[in-house]
Amino acid sequence: MQLPLLASTFATVFLAELGDKTQLAIVTISGTSSRPLAVFAGSSLALVLASLLGAVAGGSLSAVIPPHALQLAASAGFLLIGLRLIIRAGRSDDAAAGPEQPPA
């Protein structure tokens, strides 16, 4: 096993999941349950299965599509999502400020 690949994958997924809606859902479920270990086990298994599906799909796609094209597509997707969030945040700030008053 390649330790640098394992470490970089762990760090990337760990940081991506912090504060994610999945983590918030787990906090909510755990808060309404008296069995936090069962919540931990269920959420861990779900993340493992989702990661397995992603790894298998990535491995299968890389046999058909060049890896650099997959990286470019993923980067473009993240960029579009980020831009959409920035635009949406700007619009909600404008709406919260209310109508502009004309200069006196």
In a domain, 84, yes or no: yes
In a domain, 102, yes or no: no
- Whether residue 48 is found in the same domain as residue 76: no
Closest to 40 measured CA to CA, from 30, 51, 32: 30
pTM: 0.56
Question: For 82-98, how does the pLDDT look when each residue is reduced to its tens digit (9 = 90+)?
Answer: 899 899 888 877 766 66
Distance CA 61, CA 55 (A): 10
- Whether residue 43 is found in the same domain as residue 71: no
- Whether residue 86 is found in the same domain as residue 76: yes
Q: Are the CB atoms for 39 and 26 separated by under 8 Å?
A: yes
Domain limits for position 73: 66-96
Distance CA 69, CA 76 (A): 10
Q: Residue 46 pLDDT > 90, yes or no? A: yes
Strand runs labelled E in the chain: none
Q: Select the more confidently predicted residue: 11 or 92.
A: 11
Q: Supply the pLDDT for residue 49.
A: 94
In a domain, 104, yes or no: no
- Whether residue 1 is found in the same domain as residue 46: yes
